[in-house]
Amino acid sequence: MVNTILSDEIINSTELRNNQKRWLDKAYSSPVSIMSGNKKLVLLNREQAKHMYLLTDYVGAFIKFCREQNSGKKRESDVFPWIKHLSEEAIEEFNNELLATFEEAVYNKDWSVFEEMLDAWAATAEAMTNPEMVELIATDVSKEEFTKVE
């Protein structure tokens, strides 16, 4: 016997045993729930499971960060402790990029771009702790100081 709730196929363990190939193939494209008494399991594509895990993890961090920012302590964060090294302008830029990249990762199911963005901002904040690096970044360099290499 097969029941459908939303797009999740719910089968019992006997149905799975009798039609393993069919249900494993089906689970590759959409979840299949298996009921055995009170026990409930789900067959799920590994990439879908990875996306769901990362989505849950990042949504929790994202919400916590939003609450931190709304508390009025914009330069303090348990989620991104390195934010204290950024200027107010950089924090605003980070917040905008965080939201845009988070949205992109959710819809494209590609968290690598989001992780790369976080790594880049963490590296930027780390660079801001080095006075020599801050001086280099703040230096206005004209084009005449460079030599064209061919």
Q: How far is CA 59 from CA 66, 101, 137, in A?
A: 10, 13, 33
**Which of 64, 61, 23 is CA-nearest to residue 45?**
23
pLDDT of residue 129: 86
Residues (pLDDT < 70) of the chain are: 1-7, 134, 136-148
pLDDT of residue 3: 56
Task: List the domains of the chain with CATH numbers.
Answer: 2-44 (3.40.1620), 48-137 (no CATH)
Q: pTM of the prediction?
A: 0.71
